[in-house]
Structure 1
Amino acid sequence: MRNDPEPPARPDDRTAAARTTAAAILQHVGGAANVTSVAHCMTRLRLGLADRDLVDEAGLRALPGVLGTVDDDTYQIVLGPGAVNRVTREVEALLPPPTEPDRAAELAARGAELKAEQRRRNATPGKLLLRRIANIFVPLIPALVGCGMLAGLNGLLVNLGWLPSVTPALAAIASGFMALIAVFVGLNTAKEFGGTPVLGGAVAAVVVYPGVAKVTAFGVALAPGQGGVLGALAAALLGTYVERWCRTWVPPTLDVLLTPALTVLVSGLVTLYGLMYVAGEVSAAIGTAANWLLTTTGALAGLILGGLFLPLVMLGLHQALIPIHTTLIEQSGYTVLLPVLAMAGAGQVGAALAVYVRMRHDATLRTTIKSALPAGLLGVGEPLIYGVSLPLGRPFLTACVGGAAGGAFVGFFSMLGDTVGSTAIGPSGWALFPLLAGSGGLGVTAAVYAGGLLTGYGVGFGATYFFGLTGVVPEPAAAATAPAPPPEPDAEGTAAPAG
């Protein structure tokens, strides 16, 4: 009997591999009965666990395809883009239906207790503030990306003189969300701080209402949109506290009438006669400072920002930049900071390529790099960070050197008047090209950004090849020893700019 050759890999093979990984993960987290919830973001499987003492963390990290773990509000397993979607589906399929209500309730109560304890450990004021900022702005990123790409396409068509009957429609579609982004910020702010979302949106809507032009505050007529997302955030936050105060004394029979009316009235008046003016001044200062930073000290600013962004991501401090990006996009149509920060990921890609070339005898590490590199080129840097550079140590530092060089390149051209910006936040790496905008036209802007990426790749590669691997002897399962990455925002399909 002859033996037929094995058929080539099919999508079913990936499903089978995901099913195997899912089963192994469940085994190392205490079994299916210990899992109370399942979710995922772009790179991480997020499990709610009833008893975290049952987790075999060393076993989890040793599994093929597992790049690291994070013990946060949920127990997070870093799998990388694409793989996390398939594994999540298989984990959900392997979980049995709740046939024991009493046991399920007991596990849920235990899980809630452990979750509360974990939150208390991580509840420093700084961490809570950054997490709340992320929870407000990260859900808006898909719309920012979609509208930003349409704005870029529309600008290209206008410059080329193509489809003049279509471009007004594209402009309306691309600009509609940005015109009302204050309302969405208000909704998310109220939701995050325990208020009624629609009331937060109603108060924030005052900021963008055209009729505010008839209102005078501090001797100056207000302008619709003055204060932008910062004013909307402040207005909705105030509205949340006013609402909660009202509910402490308004009789239950009148609560449905008085509380919403007083919330909108009090918060709306304070917004019109105070918050919009103050937030407008702050927003203008942010825009002025960002532009001055790059046009005056561009190379130095790019060097520092590009070099420090990966450590900022590791510490979770990059979340504080989200409202700054959004403010800049509101003011000028693009953020000048994101392309500079994206150079950090270019350095990471260059460092990974150097590791791949130097460590030719480490098949496991090279396999990790091959699977993670496409995502890194498109701006998703976690697989390379937690699977390659951090476990090795020094390559993480040389990746920062590459990011600093790329940032200095982009910043240098900003000093020459060729500002590079992004019409949306979220993507980076090659994925940022469709979102580029700047002062020098699309061709010059794309060329400067591409030059920055190439500089980051080259310097990251060279620094790692010659200085980043001295004395490094990685173990076969380097990814298993990676330090746990910090928490990331709960956002489907969203990652911090990383390449």
Structure 2
Amino acid sequence: MKNQELAKEILKNVGGENNINSLVHCVTRLRFKLLDNSKANKSIIEELEGVISVVESGGQFQVVIGNTVGDVYKEIIKLTNLVNDKKEINNEVKEKTSIGNKALDLISGIFAPVLSILASVSILKGLLAIVVYLNYTSTSSGTYQILHAVEDSALYFMPILIAFTAAKKFGASEFIAITLGSILVYPGIINLFNKNIIINFFGIPFKGIDYSFTFIPIVIAVFILAKLEKFLNKVMNENLKLFFMPLLCLVIMAPLTFIVIGPIATIITKTVGIVYSFIYNLSPVLVGIIVGASWQALVIGGIHWGAMPVIINNLSLYGVDTFMALAISASVGQAGAVLGVLLKTKNKNIRKAAISTIPTGLAGITEPTIYGVTLKYKTPFICATIGGAVGGAIAGYSGSAAIGYLIPGLLTLPVYFGQGFKELVIAVVTSYVLSAILSFITFKDPKVENDTEIYDNGKIEKNIDNNDKLNKRETTKTEIIESPLNGEVKELSQVSDQVFASEALGKGIAIVPSEGKLVSPVEGVVSAVFPTGHAIGIISDNGIEILMHIGFDTVSLNGKHFKLNVTQGEKVKKGDLLVEFDINKIQQEGFDITTPIVITNTNDYSNIKSINHGVVKYNDNILLVKQKLIE
């Protein structure tokens, strides 16, 4: 599915623009703050091509996309007025959230937009440190000075970057906030501060503080700015707002920040740094074990953002941060666990998923690794947790620290160059290898049931020893899914679309239709109907959730050549006509008409098998679905 179409489907299924309070994105996720979460259709979003998973955590509705999240975000912004709108939240529909969730939402909303730039320039910062150490250049050279400006400016002018994102979060004017952030790092003011000169503002003396590299003062200042703007908007004449609104805001907020907000925020900054340093110094090894073991669990819930202010605060206070050195082994451990699965499994679909997710895991983007393999099969995730804990312990012992903000992965290793770097490399390698070994030992391919023999003609013969069956507490309920199409069966792994081929949406088969009619393969209820007609979801009377997707990227036809014959919530019987479509015209438009039929709640069943090959007709048996029951 193209980014534009994916954006449209996500926007529609989160309840539309009017249900969105705010939207930001991090490296892999769209992070919605919705007015009413009940209006979001989580199950449909999870079924969209290009969506890895949906997580509701920290007061946010998080749609995990992967590496293309930035492109999807841009498409959503094009379709909406979310950037410019300052929406008032209706208290009657506003979801009640805990203080913790509100804090996480606030943190991610402010820091997520600047994550990419901070991580990028920090990598350059590490590489520069390495080339200087190896004497390839000197700090006095023009090359170094220009590149140093590139890597240092984003961190130095942190108040300006954070002013922009905080303004969007709090509903203040972005340009007034940016100007306020610029005032805090104005060279003339900083020169006075560096000379320890006591400054008087209308007789009020105060000692200057250097606010470069900081974020807490500007966050507090922009929060108060938003309140001030709201008040002035109510009392000020409309004709005066254009010029006098910015003037009054800046004249009030600048001295207030220097005299009151800044000193208080500085105390908070130092206190946070002291508390973290105290905890870390109690036992770096123990802290490393805890962080290494828990980091990916925090990532799953999206609550790892709670550590971001601490990390950036460490950088602003000390110029280095030790926390992320403890987390890198957790990320690499996930990739190691997938390697163990890859070496052990004989299932070609699992192998395909493993091969595609190892590189992203090593780079520190672990959601595809987690949702595609480790968490899906459970034991690999536990193995990665153990490897991350061991690596974290070694990293804690090394005392290694990052000289910039980063995403914990192999690509960002240069940022750790300095004290303890060699030991950190050992920690990362240990985590990777140990996770791989443990995963290789413990992983077992999904079981193949032996109580049935399945033949190419679709016939099923039972082979159950009655005496054995009587002695078992578990029995197996077997159900048959019939073909919704006339056509030729293909293995799901053979289709061109990698989302379906990797079984990310569930197990099943694909059919290349020879007739443009899709009928119901079961008795049940139509659970999802895409207006474009290209996809239908049905829940059988026994709870099997079936997705039938006619062709690939056919959503972009916007309903052209498709005719829907059912509506969502409609009761259907086997053989009822669901969709009519013109195969020739769809193919003439350049689309692959291959139609996957997948069981989206695959994890609820012990085994799902294809029981027919070659040419099938309507109502031929195509899938065997088995569910274990406790007697």
> What TM-score, normalized to structure 1?
0.71
1:413 aligns with 2:395: no
Which residue in the other structure is 2:372 paired with?
A: 387
Which residue in the other structure is 1:277 paired with?
A: 263
1:30–1:54 contact (8 Å) kept in structure 2: no
Query: Structure 2 residue aligned with 1:453, among 412, 428, 431?
Result: 428
Q: Give the CA deviation at 1:385.
A: 0.5
Which residue in the other structure is 1:364 paired with?
A: 349
Q: Give the CA deviation at 1:137.
A: 1.5
Percentage of pairs with the same residue: 22
RMSD, aligned α-carbons: 4.5
1:170 aligns with 2:147: yes
Query: Structure 1 residue aligned with 2:358, among 373, 378, 395?
Result: 373
Which residue in the other structure is 2:405 paired with?
A: 424
Q: 1:12-23 to 2 correspondence within 5 Å?
A: none
2:107–2:305 contact (8 Å) kept in structure 1: yes
Q: Distance in 1 between matches of 2:372 and 2:293?
A: 20
Which residue in the other structure is 2:100 paired with?
A: 126
> Aligned pair in 2 of structure 1 residues 140, 295: CA closer, same or farther (>3 Å)?
same
Which residue in the other structure is 2:117 paired with?
A: 143
Query: Structure 1 residue aligned with 2:230, among 221, 235, 244?
Result: 244
Residue identity in the other structure for 2:165: N
Deviations 1:180-220 (A, max 9, x none): 11112112211211110111122333433352624469987
1:388–1:479 contact (8 Å) kept in structure 2: no
Residue identity in the other structure for 1:239: L
1:403 aligns with 2:384: no
Q: Distance in 1 between matches of 2:56 and 2:381?
A: 22
Deviations 1:315-342 (A, max 9, x none): 2211122222222222333321112112
Deviations 1:413-444 (A, max 9, x none): 12xxxx3324122x322111232244x2xxx5
Q: 1:299-310 to 2 correspondence within 5 Å?
A: 299-310=285-296
> Aligned pair in 2 of structure 1 residues 408, 75: CA closer, same or farther (>3 Å)?
closer
Q: Distance in 1 between matches of 2:277 and 2:425?
A: 21
Query: Structure 2 residue aligned with 1:203, among 180, 185, 191?
Result: 180
Q: 1:327-366 to 2 correspondence within 5 Å?
A: 327-358=313-344, 360-366=345-351
1:342–1:429 contact (8 Å) kept in structure 2: yes
Residue identity in the other structure for 2:379: R
Q: Distance in 1 between matches of 2:70 and 2:235?
A: 48
The more displaced of 154-163 and 337-346 is 154-163
Which residue in the other structure is 1:298 paired with?
A: 284
Secondary structure of 1:449's aligned partner: helix
Q: Distance in 2 between matches of 1:180 and 1:119?
A: 38
Query: Structure 2 residue aligned with 1:158, among 132, 136, 140?
Result: 132
Q: Distance in 1 between matches of 2:11 and 2:137?
A: 59
1:42–1:81 contact (8 Å) kept in structure 2: yes
Q: Distance in 1 between matches of 2:440 and 2:227?
A: 55
Residue identity in the other structure for 2:434: V
2:123–2:412 contact (8 Å) kept in structure 1: no
> What TM-score, normalized to structure 2?
0.58
Structure 1 residue runs of 5 or longer lacking an equivalent are 1-17, 93-97, 99-103, 109-114, 484-499
Which residue in the other structure is 1:15 paired with?
A: none
> Aligned pair in 2 of structure 1 residues 321, 119: CA closer, same or farther (>3 Å)?
farther
Which residue in the other structure is 1:486 paired with?
A: none
> Aligned pair in 2 of structure 1 residues 205, 454: CA closer, same or farther (>3 Å)?
same
1:402–1:460 contact (8 Å) kept in structure 2: yes
2:45–2:54 contact (8 Å) kept in structure 1: no
1:227–1:278 contact (8 Å) kept in structure 2: no
> Aligned pair in 2 of structure 1 residues 319, 474: CA closer, same or farther (>3 Å)?
farther
Q: 1:104-115 to 2 correspondence within 5 Å?
A: none
> Aligned pair in 2 of structure 1 residues 147, 413: CA closer, same or farther (>3 Å)?
same
Residue identity in the other structure for 2:154: F
1:387–1:479 contact (8 Å) kept in structure 2: no
Query: Structure 2 residue aligned with 1:189, among 166, 185, 205?
Result: 166
Q: Give the CA deviation at 1:297.
A: 0.8
Residue identity in the other structure for 1:195: A
> Aligned pair in 2 of structure 1 residues 141, 54: CA closer, same or farther (>3 Å)?
closer
Q: Give the CA deviation at 1:405.
A: 1.1
Q: Which has the larger radius of gyration?
A: 2
Residue identity in the other structure for 1:180: F
2:374–2:381 contact (8 Å) kept in structure 1: yes
2:109–2:165 contact (8 Å) kept in structure 1: yes
Higher RCO (CA-CA < 8 Å; seq separation 6+): 1
Q: Distance in 1 between matches of 2:257 and 2:448?
A: 57
Q: Give the CA deviation at 1:147.
A: 2.4
Residue identity in the other structure for 1:424: Y
> Aligned pair in 2 of structure 1 residues 183, 254: CA closer, same or farther (>3 Å)?
same
Query: Higher helix proportion, which one?
Result: 1
Q: Distance in 2 between matches of 1:196 and 1:434?
A: 38
Q: Distance in 2 between matches of 1:391 and 1:261?
A: 56
Residue identity in the other structure for 1:200: A
Q: Distance in 1 between matches of 2:239 and 2:178?
A: 24
Query: Higher strand proportion, which one?
Result: 2
| Number of equivalent positions | 429
Which residue in the other structure is 1:489 paired with?
A: none
Residue identity in the other structure for 2:177: G
Q: Give the CA deviation at 1:124.
A: 4.7
Q: Distance in 2 between matches of 1:352 and 1:391?
A: 11
Q: Distance in 2 between matches of 1:221 and 1:39?
A: 37
Residue identity in the other structure for 1:374: P
The more displaced of 330-339 and 370-379 is 330-339
Residue identity in the other structure for 1:457: Y
Which residue in the other structure is 2:498 paired with?
A: none
1:262 aligns with 2:242: no
> Aligned pair in 2 of structure 1 residues 180, 26: CA closer, same or farther (>3 Å)?
closer
2:156–2:213 contact (8 Å) kept in structure 1: no
Structure 2 residue runs of 5 or longer lacking an equivalent are 33-37, 83-88, 450-501, 507-600, 604-631
The more displaced of 345-354 and 281-290 is 281-290
Residue identity in the other structure for 2:115: I
